[in-house]
Amino acid sequence: MTTRTRAAYRCRLDGAAAPRHDAPMTHPPERAAAGAGAAPSPAAPTDRSRFSWRLPRRRGAYLTGTAGAGRMVGLDAARGAALIGMMAAHVGLTTCGLTSVPGLLNQAHGRAAVLFSVIAGFSLGIMSGRTAPHTGEQLVRTRLRLLVRSALLLVLGAVLSTFGTMVAIILGYYAAWLALAIPVLTWRARRLFVLAGLTAAIGPVLVQGAPWALGRAGLTLFPAVSDGNSALLSFFFTGAYSGALWMAYIYLGLGLSRLDWSRRANLWRLAGAGALCAVLGYAGGWAASAAVGDPDSYHLVSPADPAQCHEEADGAPQDDGVLAGAPSSQTVQSGKEGGGAVADPEPPDLAQLATAAPHSQTTFEALGSGGTAMVLIALLQLIGRRARLLLAPLAAVGSMSLTVYCGHIAVIWAADNPYDPVDNRLFAAMAGGFIVLAMVWFAIWARGPLEHLVHVISVRATRAVAPRPRQ
C-alpha cells in the first residue's frame, strides 16, 4: 500500500475527506526541516485562526443549524427559544389562557429570561472544562477570558441603554454574573446544585427584607441621588434581575454543565427532575397565593375580564414608581438633605413571597421557571440527537445570541418602543427575520459578528498576559 493510498484509507476511517489523487503531496516547512519522521504541528494554523480578526468561514456540511459540528444542538436551540421568548415578551400581544396564540406567548414572560440565565451558567461550564474543570494555568486563562468578556458585555449593555428603550437590558447583569461565578468554576455538580438551592431559598428573603432591615437602622436601598455608588445595591436587591436570586440560575446552569449529557438516560432523568421542580414551584406558588387570598393562576386560566390578565412586557416601568424587584410596601422620601431615607419602614410583606408569577423574584418562581428551563434544555437535546435538522432554525439563532439580542433591541428602538401592541405582526416579523438572518449567516460564516469580536478580544487578551515559555 502506497503512502497516498494509506492516507486516503485513514481519512475514510476518520470521516474526513480523502486527499485528491491529482493534488501534489506537500509538506509543511517545519516538517521538511525536521525530516519525514517528524509530525507536523497542528497548533499553528489553529492559533492563527483564533487570533484573526477575519470572520471564519463555514467548513463542512450546512443545515446543522449551529456554528460548529461539535456544539450541543439542543443547548443552542434552547438559547434560541429564550431569545424568541424575549421578543414575545417585549413586543408581543400577550393575554392569559392556553387556548390562543397570545395566551401561549404569555408563557414567555419571566421564563425566557430565566432560561437565558440558566444557559449562561451552562456556557460558563463549557468554557471552564465541562465534566473536567480547568486547573492550574488553564484555569487562570479561563478566568481572565471571563473577566474580559464581562467588561465587553458591560460596554455593550451600556451602549444598548443609550437607545432609551423600555427593555430592562440584561447584559450588564450578565457581565456581573460572569465575574461572580469565577470563584466556583472548579466546583462539581452537587456543590453547585446545593448553592443554587440555597440562593433560591435565601435570595427572595433578602430582596424583601433588606429594605426593612436597613430602614430600621436609618439606612436605605433607595438613595435620593443616583450617583453610581448604589450600583452594587441595585444589582443585588433592587434591580430588575436581582443578583441575590438570579445567581441561582447561573449556579444551576453551571452545575448542569458538569453532568454527562452524552447518555440518553441522563437526559431523561434531567427532564424528570426539572418537571418535578416545575410542579413543586407552580403548584406551591398557587397554593401559597390562594392561602393569602390571591391565587396566581392568571397566566394559565383566563378570568371573566380579559383585561385583568394582560401583562406588561418584561422591563416595562412599574406603576407604583418602585424599581423592579423592590418590595412595593416601602415608601421613599428624599428630604431636604437628600438622604433618601425610608420613612417609617414597615415589616416585609411575606404575602409577596407567596407567588410564582413572572418576575416576582420568589422561591416558587425560581423552582418553577428553573425547572421549566431544565425540561426544555433536556428535551431539545434529546430531539437534537434524533432530528438535528428540525432544530436548525432555533439553533442558528442561539448560536449568535449576542448579535440577535443586540439586534432586537435596535429593532425595538427603531420601531419607537411598541409596548402596547394590537397584534403580533411585529413580533412575527422580528422572530422570522432573525431566524432567516441566522440561517443565511451560518451558510457562509462559522461565528456571529459580535460573538467573533468578543471571542477574538478575549483570546488576544489572554495571549498578551500569558507567561512566555522558557527558552
Chain segment 295-307, per-residue pLDDT in tens: 765 555 544 444 5
Q: What is residue 445's three-state secondary structure?
A: strand
What pLDDT score was predicted for residue 387? Answer: 86
Residue 61 pLDDT more than 80?
A: no
Give the E-state strand segments of 410-469 in sequence order.
none
Q: Residue-wise over 214-224: b if at least 16 C-beta within 10 A, else e? A: bbeeebbbbbe
Least confidently predicted of 126-135, 225-234, 407-416: 225-234
Averaged over 363-378, what is the pLDDT?
96
Report CA 98 to chain centroid distance, whole Å.
26
What integer is the mean pLDDT of 2-31?
41
Among residues 118, 122, 250, 119, which one has the least CA distance to residue 179?
250
Residue 403: per-residue pLDDT: 97
Please compute the mean of the pLDDT values over residues 222-244 and round it to a whole number.
Answer: 82
* pLDDT of 320 strictly over 80: no
Q: How far apart are CA 373 and CA 237, in angstroms?
A: 23
Over the stretch 67-120, which tens digit does the pLDDT of each residue have?
A: 555 688 999 999 999 999 999 999 998 887 777 788 888 889 899 999 999 999
Using one digit for the tens of pLDDT, what is the confidence trace for 331-349? 333 333 444 444 556 777 7
Banded model confidence at residue 16, pLDDT cuts 50, 70, 90: very low
Query: What are the pLDDT digits (tens) for 392-443?
Result: 999 999 999 999 999 999 999 998 876 778 889 999 999 999 999 999 998 8
H-helix segments, 305-417: 363-386, 392-399, 401-414
Poorest-confidence range of 41-50, 126-135, 416-425? 41-50
Which percentage of the chain shows pLDDT scores above 70?
73
Query: Is the confidence at residue 159, as pLDDT, over 70?
Result: yes
Q: How far apart are the first and last CA of the chain?
A: 42
Q: What is the secondary structure of 228-265 as a DSSP string? A: STTHHHIIIIISTT-HHHHHHHHHHHHHHHTS--S-HH
pLDDT at 51 over 80: no
pLDDT of residue 344: 57
User: To which residue does cell 436609618 refer?
Assistant: 218
Q: What is the 3-state secondary structure (H, E, C) of 29-94?
A: HHHHHHCCCCCCCCHHHHHHHHHCCCCCECCCCCCCCCCCCCCCHHHHHHHHHHHHHHHHHHHCCC
Average pLDDT, the chain: 79
Which pLDDT belongs to residue 171?
94
What's residue 345's pLDDT?
62
Digit-coded pLDDT (tens) for 192-225: 999 999 999 999 999 888 888 888 888 888 776 6
pTM of the model: 0.80
Q: Which of 88, 374, 131 is nearest to 249 (CA)?
A: 374
The pLDDT value given to residue 350: 73
The predicted pLDDT at position 175 comes to: 94
Contact 442, 67 (CB under 8 A): yes
In the prediction, which pLDDT does 35 show?
A: 40
Specify the pLDDT at position 223: 73
pLDDT band at 466 (very low <50, low <70, confident <90, very high): low
Domains in the chain: boundaries: 70-465
User: Does the pLDDT of residue 21 top 50, yes or no?
Assistant: no
- Tell me what the mean pLDDT of segment 451-459 comes to: 93
* pLDDT at site 50: 63
The length of the chain is 471
Q: How far apart are CA 354 and CA 325, in angstroms?
A: 15
* Mean predicted confidence (pLDDT) in 348-354: 79
Q: Which residues pair with 434 in a beta bridge?
A: none
| pLDDT number for residue 286 | 86
Q: What is the pLDDT of residue 94?
A: 83
Distance (Å) of CA 397 to CA 58, 81, 250, 314, 404: 16, 8, 21, 20, 7
269, three cell numbers = 432523568
C-alpha cell at 187: 466546583
